[in-house]
């Protein structure tokens, strides 16, 4: 088919216009598509940031609440532990002798006394720190080892013997008092006063925490 020269130019011009319009339309669609992806990415980033901020705030709030609960439990545990003590009572007879030997003679002196003692043991909360950690429904309490708080002893001297050159002195009486106090202390240790004090503290704290609905784990170190 034969087309005039003018018609050919018109056809080419029309074709070029159609191609340009299609290209412009594609560019517009591509630009909107990119903007849409950017918008979607921004929305996703916003929600991710919102989730992170919410989680951080929740963590801080929960951490503060956990710290507050642990501090409250620590105060209660210390108050109860002060009452969780064990006391032993003892009575014994003590004799003290001192002798100096010379070539022809001996110089002796002696004391006889009846002693009583009251020994108190428990967990020392002032010098050592008690640790309380809460994890869900479980509470972990770490105590220092129990120790003897005091040995209140008394001696009643029932007999003494000395010589003119070797008199009983106040120092002699004090020495016997110190020896008797250490004897009573060892008796209490051998009788298990330390373990008894720890068992009492653990029992009372466990009962208290279980009454609040917690599972308690107590240890001494």
Written as one string, the DSSP assignment of 156-196 is: EEEEEE-BTTB---HHHHHHHHHHHHHHHHHHHHHTTHHHH
The distance from CA 111 to its chain's CA centroid, rounded to whole angstroms, is: 50
Residues 59 and 127 in one domain: no
Residues 77 and 98 in one domain: no
Domain interval for residue 157? 85-220
Please give the Cα distance from 210 to 202 (Å, whole number). Answer: 12
Q: What is the pLDDT along the chain (221 residues), one digit of tens a residue?
A: 544 555 655 555 555 555 676 677 777 777 788 888 888 888 888 888 877 776 666 565 455 655 666 667 777 777 776 767 899 999 999 988 887 766 666 677 888 899 999 999 998 876 557 788 888 888 888 888 899 999 999 999 887 776 566 777 888 888 899 999 999 999 999 999 999 999 998 888 888 888 888 888 988 88
> Does residue 147 contact residue 124 with C-beta atoms inside 8 Å?
yes
Enumerate long-range contacts of 15-24, CB under 8 Å, 24 or more apart.
none
pTM of the model: 0.61
Residues 42 and 142 in one domain: no
- At residue 91, φ and ψ (nearest 5 deg) are -145, 140
Token readout for 194 is 């330390």
How many domains are contained in the chain?
Answer: 2
> Does residue 118 contact residue 88 with C-beta atoms inside 8 Å?
yes
Residues 112 and 184 in one domain: yes
């Amino acid at each position: 088919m034969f087309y005039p020269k003018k018609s050919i130019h018109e056809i080419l011009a029309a074709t070029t216009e159609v191609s340009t319009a299609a290209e412009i339309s594609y560019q517009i669609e591509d630009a909107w598509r990119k903007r849409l992806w950017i918008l979607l990415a921004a929305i996703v980033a916003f929600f991710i940031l919102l989730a992170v901020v919410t989680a951080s705030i929740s963590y801080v709030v929960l951490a503060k609440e956990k710290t507050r609960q642990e501090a409250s439990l620590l105060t209660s545990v210390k108050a109860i532990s002060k009452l969780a003590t064990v006391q032993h009572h003892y009575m014994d007879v003590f004799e003290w002798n001192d002798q100096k030997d010379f070539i022809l003679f001996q110089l002796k002196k002696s004391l006889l006394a009846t002693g009583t003692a009251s020994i108190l043991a428990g967990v020392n909360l002032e010098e050592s720190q008690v640790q309380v950690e809460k994890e869900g429904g479980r509470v972990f309490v770490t105590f220092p080892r129990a120790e003897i708080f005091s040995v209140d002893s008394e001696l009643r001297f029932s007999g003494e013997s000395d010589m003119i050159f070797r008199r009983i002195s106040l120092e002699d009486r004090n020495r016997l008092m110190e020896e008797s106090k250490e004897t009573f202390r060892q008796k209490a240790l051998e009788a298990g006063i330390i373990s008894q004090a720890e068992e009492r503290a653990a029992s009372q704290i466990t009962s208290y925490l279980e009454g609040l609905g917690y599972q308690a784990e107590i240890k001494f170190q």
